[in-house]
Amino acid sequence: MAPGSPADEAGIHGGDIVVEVNRKKVSSVAEVRDEAAKVADGKPLLLLVRPTDGNDRFAALTAG
């Protein structure tokens, strides 16, 4: 992730896997993008992330 990006600020790192977007399971980058595109700018985006340590956690970002 780019330093200072919303993903970086939410604690998402390279190698982390996004498992859900707004509580909908996703299995590819395209699905993550499609689900994120459904969220209006400025609205919350909730991601369930599986970091490389295997301990799933939620990360919140703002769409846009």
Answer whether residue 51 shows pLDDT above 80.
yes
Residue at 1 is within a domain: no
Answer whether residue 4 shows pLDDT above 90.
no
Whichever domain contains 41, its CATH number is 2.30.42.10
Residue 33 domain boundaries: 6-62
Q: Which two tokens stand for residue 25?
A: 């399971």
Report the pLDDT value the prediction gives residue 34, as an integer from 0 to 100.
Answer: 95
- Coil, strand, or helix at residue 63? coil
Distance of CA 58 to the CA centre of its chain: 8
pTM of the model: 0.87
Report the pLDDT value the prediction gives residue 16, as an integer from 0 to 100.
Answer: 94
Strand order across the 44-50 sheet: 24-25, 17-21, 44-50, 57-62
DSSP state of 37: H
Q: Are 62 and 43 in contact (CB under 8 A)?
A: yes
Provide the domain count of the chain: 1
Residue at 36 is within a domain: yes
Residue at 57 is within a domain: yes
Please compute the mean of the pLDDT values over residues 23-28 and round it to a whole number.
Answer: 96
